[in-house]
Amino acid sequence: MTEQAGDHGTDQPAEDAAGQVAGRLEQVIAAQVRHYRTSAGLSSAELAARTGLSKAMISRVETATTSCSLTTLQRLADGLNVPVTALFRGADTDRDATFTKSGQGSLTVRSGTQHGHEYRVLGTLKGRPDAIEPTLVTLTDASDVFPLFQHPGTEFIYMLAGKMVYGHGSYEYAMEPGDSLLLDGEGPHGPLELLDLPIRFLAVSAK
């Protein structure tokens, strides 16, 4: 079964008169169509039959020598039983990621640092002021000084080792490994009593 006549006016060769190679978008679509077709165990002829496109058209799509119309993309997605957006996967610009090895991370100085409190930021995303900030907090000294923090957004705390009493506003929470606490960062919060050292917990803040 061949493609309908209406498609011929919208699916144009990707190479222009100067002989430029197919653009990145066509290459991404070509790779995704080929991937989903072979994963489904379909031949080009079978996909053509499913979509109402010609086998030659399928070949042009998979070799990135044509720019698909929205109608053609929808037919391909329906024939492959995937959302249209799946055919564009990989077309986005590179996304930022941060990998931190065990025991590493950026040590930061905060009001509790001089009292045996270690704050190790595990990663940040460049240019994303709204991104979360995971921090590994280690308390090693039975200090009588417990700085409280206040900041916009929310914070999630997950206990990894030791025991402590953690305060948020007028409330106190006895925390041990496996316990977690989600709080509004605007309320003053921080450790109130260190019960079993060393104490380690993950604090994830988000604006």
Domain boundaries in the chain? 5-88, 106-206
| 111 — pLDDT class (breaks 50, 70, 90) | low
**pLDDT attached to residue 125:** 75
- For the question of whether the overall pTM of this predicted structure is more than 0.75, the answer is no
| 142 — pLDDT class (breaks 50, 70, 90) | confident
**pLDDT attached to residue 116:** 59
CATH numeric code, 5-88 = 1.10.260.40
**pLDDT attached to residue 95:** 67
**pLDDT attached to residue 65:** 92
Which region among 21-30, 54-63, 83-92, 178-187 has the lowest average model confidence (pLDDT)?
21-30
Which region among 11-20, 41-50, 80-89, 145-154 has the lowest average model confidence (pLDDT)?
11-20
How does DSSP classify residue 79?
A: H
| 11 — pLDDT class (breaks 50, 70, 90) | low
Q: Give CA–CA dist 54/64, Å, rounded.
A: 15
**pLDDT attached to residue 1:** 43
| 110 — pLDDT class (breaks 50, 70, 90) | low
Nearest CA to 39 out of 82, 89, 72 is that of 82
Write out the CATH class of domain 106-206: mainly beta
Nearest CA to 16 out of 61, 84, 65, 76 is that of 65
**pLDDT attached to residue 124:** 78
Q: Could you tell me if 183 and 190 are in contact, meaning their C-beta atoms sit under 8 angstroms apart?
A: no
pLDDT tens per residue, range 20-67: 434 788 999 999 999 999 999 999 999 999 999 999 999 999 999 999
Give the HSE-up count for residue 59: Cα atoms under 13 Å, Cβ half-sphere: 5
Residue 181 token pair? 């606490």
